[in-house]
């Protein structure tokens, strides 16, 4: 049984990670830390865990965490910088759900996150944990950078088009929308019920922190840095991301449906839907699945890709567990084959 530690488990990605690990057939949470809630039982904060664990939060002690086989960081940016190096030196593998190791350029990371990168010496070790493009590298990785939620939905939608060189990579558009849980579990005026309910708005149009991550990923696939207009929006719902993606085709005779079906035929967590489909966020709620549909409106020169995920699962904690499964030689779908909850 894999012994897992979780640093910073009081947020939404933390409790989602606990939910998945407590039901996992080959792993269990052994150490769960929180400076502000040390001594408090997990199920006192998260009543959905009652009857599933007797664990309490503890102070983040590197010695205790190093006794785990793997440590997950479900923390704000900058925290993993300070602790990951010591854990790695003691032989513990690290899966970071924050943005600390996603961007390979330390200076670029600093510009977008407003502080110096705290562990640039570890960047060469970090493997970007999107299994659909990096599966071969993940089993041997010591440090995994779990992709962000928007980058996951957007990248999975564009990858087949860019890999095959089917579209003009200089003029891509990603119109993406997220539920409120994507902003985290913190007090913030814009996230209050009276502010977010029955409301719909764009934000970060001038530049969102996920943009350089998306550009890096798509650049690796395309072989050149693409041109991308990325506009995120806030939806008045708790979970889910829908990304509507637009790209201009180079060849009007391209079989888009066939290309997407072939590219993702062996992917356990990407579902290419039948022609004419419109994937819904509720169809992936609580699951590690990305559902995709591809269209070419009016038979024109624009490919439209619709991509939906649960931002807390495939966009965060579920993808982290998927990486853990690959790292430790478990079936990739272990603990992740649940069915979405409807309605």
The tens digit of pLDDT for each residue in 316-339 reads 999 999 999 999 999 999 999 999
Look at residue 48 in the predicted model and tell me its pLDDT.
Answer: 96
191 pLDDT exceeds 90?
no
Residues 119 and 176 in one domain: no
Residues 202 and 88 in one domain: no
Predicted confidence band of residue 185 (pLDDT cuts 50, 70, 90): confident
Question: Is residue 268 situated within a structural domain?
Answer: yes
For range 251-275, the mean pLDDT: 97
213, 148 contact by CB (below 8 A)? yes
Planar angle of CA 13, 19, 21, nearest 5 degrees: 100
pLDDT given at position 325: 98
pLDDT value of position 309: 98
- 219 with 92, same domain: the answer is no
How many other CB atoms are found less than 10 A from the CB of residue 46?
18
> Are the C-beta atoms of residues 310 and 239 closer than 8 Å to each other?
yes
Half-sphere exposure in the Cβ direction for 39 (13 Å, CA) = 1
pLDDT value at residue 186: 81
Q: Looking at the domain assignment, is residue 305 inside a domain?
A: yes
> Is 169 found in the same domain as 69?
no
Mean per-residue pLDDT of the chain: 96
CA–CA distances in Å: residue 285 to residues 18, 174, 239, 281: 17, 21, 7, 6
pLDDT band at 187 (very low <50, low <70, confident <90, very high): confident
Q: Is 38's pLDDT higher than 90? A: yes
What average pLDDT does this structure show over 43-72? Answer: 96
Domain annotation covers residue 193: yes
Taking the CA atoms of the chain, what radius of gyration do you get in angstroms?
20
pTM for the structure as a whole: 0.97
- pLDDT at residue 184 greater than cutoff 90: no
Residue 102 and residue 11: Cα distance in Å, rounded?
A: 20
- Mean pLDDT across the stretch 213-230? 97
Domain shared by 100 and 22, yes or no: yes
pLDDT in tens, 112-165: 999 999 999 999 999 999 999 999 999 999 999 999 999 999 999 999 999 999
Instruction: Mention every residue, 6+ apart, whose C-beta is less than 8 A from residue 111.
Output: none
Q: Dihedral (C-alpha) 306, 129, 75, 89: value to the nearest 10 degrees?
A: 180
Whether residue 336 is contained in a domain is answered as no
For residues 106 and 173, state if they share a domain.
Answer: no
Element (H, E) at 46: none
User: 196 and 261 share a domain?
Assistant: yes
CB 51 within 8 A of CB 74: no
Asked whether residue 183 is assigned to any structural domain, the reply reads yes
Q: What is the mean pLDDT of residues 53-60?
A: 96
Tell me whether residue 6 is in a domain.
Answer: yes
pLDDT score for 318:
98
**Phi, psi (degrees; rounded to nearest 5) at 332:** -60, -30
Pair 299, 236 in one domain = yes
Instruction: Count up the domains in the chain and report the number.
Output: 2
Residues 168 and 296 in one domain: yes
Confidence of residue 17 (pLDDT cuts 50, 70, 90): very high
Give how far the C-alpha of residue 209 lies from the chain's centroid of Cα atoms, to the nearest Å.
Answer: 14
Given this model, what pLDDT does residue 15 score? Answer: 96
In Å, how far are 59, 122, 283, 293, 339 from 264, measured between CA atoms? 42, 31, 18, 12, 20
Q: Using CA atoms, how far apart are residues 107 and 40, in angstroms rounded to an integer? A: 39
Beginning with the edge strand found earlier in the chain, give each strand of the sheet holding 201-202 in spatial order. 201-202, 228-234, 172-178, 241-248, 302-309, 290-295, 270-272
> Structural domain of residue 260, as residue ranges?
150-311
Residue 71 domain-assigned (yes or no): yes
* 63 and 164 co-located in one domain: no
pLDDT (mean) for 163-189: 93
Q: For residue range 273-311, what is the model confidence (pLDDT) as tens digits?
A: 999 999 999 999 999 999 999 999 999 999 999 999 999
Over range 26-37, report the average pLDDT.
96
Structure tokens at 258: 């066939």
Tell me, yes or no, whether 154 lies in a domain.
yes
- Domain with 161 in it: what CATH number? 3.30.360.10
Cα separation, 311 vs 175, in Å, equals: 15
| In a shared domain, residues 163 and 99 | no
Which of the residues are catalytic?
Answer: 149
Q: What is the CATH number of the domain that holds 92?
A: 3.40.50.720
For the chain, the helix, strand and coil percentages under 3-state DSSP, each to the nearest 5: 35, 20, 45
pLDDT at 183 over 90: no
306 in the same domain as 181: yes
């Amino acid at each position: 049984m894999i012994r897992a530690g979780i640093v910073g488990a009081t947020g939404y990605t933390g409790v989602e990670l606990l939910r998945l690990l407590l039901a996992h057939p080959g792993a269990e949470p052994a150490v769960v830390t929180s400076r502000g809630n040390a001594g408090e039982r997990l199920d006192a904060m998260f009543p959905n865990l009652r009857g599933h664990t007797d664990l309490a939060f503890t102070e983040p002690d590197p010695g205790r965490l190093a006794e785990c086989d793997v440590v997950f960081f479900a923390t704000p940016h900058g925290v993993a910088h300070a602790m990951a190096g010591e854990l790695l030196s003691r032989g513990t593998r690290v899966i970071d759900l924050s943005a600390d190791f996603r961007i390979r350029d330390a200076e670029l990371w600093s510009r977008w996150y407003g502080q110096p990168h705290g562990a640039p010496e570890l960047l060469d070790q970090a493997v970007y944990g999107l299994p659909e493009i990096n599966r071969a590298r993940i089993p041997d990785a010591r440090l995994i950078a779990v992709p962000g939620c928007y980058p996951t939905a957007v990248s999975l939608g564009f990858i087949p088009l860019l890999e095959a060189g089917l579209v003009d990579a200089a003029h891509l558009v990603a119109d993406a929308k997220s539920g409120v849980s994507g902003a985290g579990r913190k007090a913030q005026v814009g996230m209050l019920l009276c502010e977010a309910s029955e409301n719909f708005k764009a934000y970060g149009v001038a530049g969102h922190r996920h943009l350089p991550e998306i550009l890096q990923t798509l650049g690796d696939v395309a072989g050149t840095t693409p041109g991308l207009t990325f506009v995120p929006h806030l939806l008045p719902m708790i979970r889910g991301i829908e990304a509507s993606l637009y790209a201009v085709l180079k060849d009007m005779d391209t079989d888009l449906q066939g290309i997407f079906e072939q590219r993702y035929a062996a992917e356990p967590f990407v579902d290419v839907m039948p022609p004419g489909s419109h994937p819904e966020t509720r169809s992936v709620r609580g699951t590690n699945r990305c559902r995709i549909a591809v269209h070419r409106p009016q038979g024109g020169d624009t490919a439209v890709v619709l991509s939906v995920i649960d931002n807390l699962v495939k966009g965060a904690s579920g993808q982290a567990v998927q990486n853990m499964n690959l790292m430790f030689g478990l079936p990739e779908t272990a603990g992740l084959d649940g069915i979405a909850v409807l309605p």
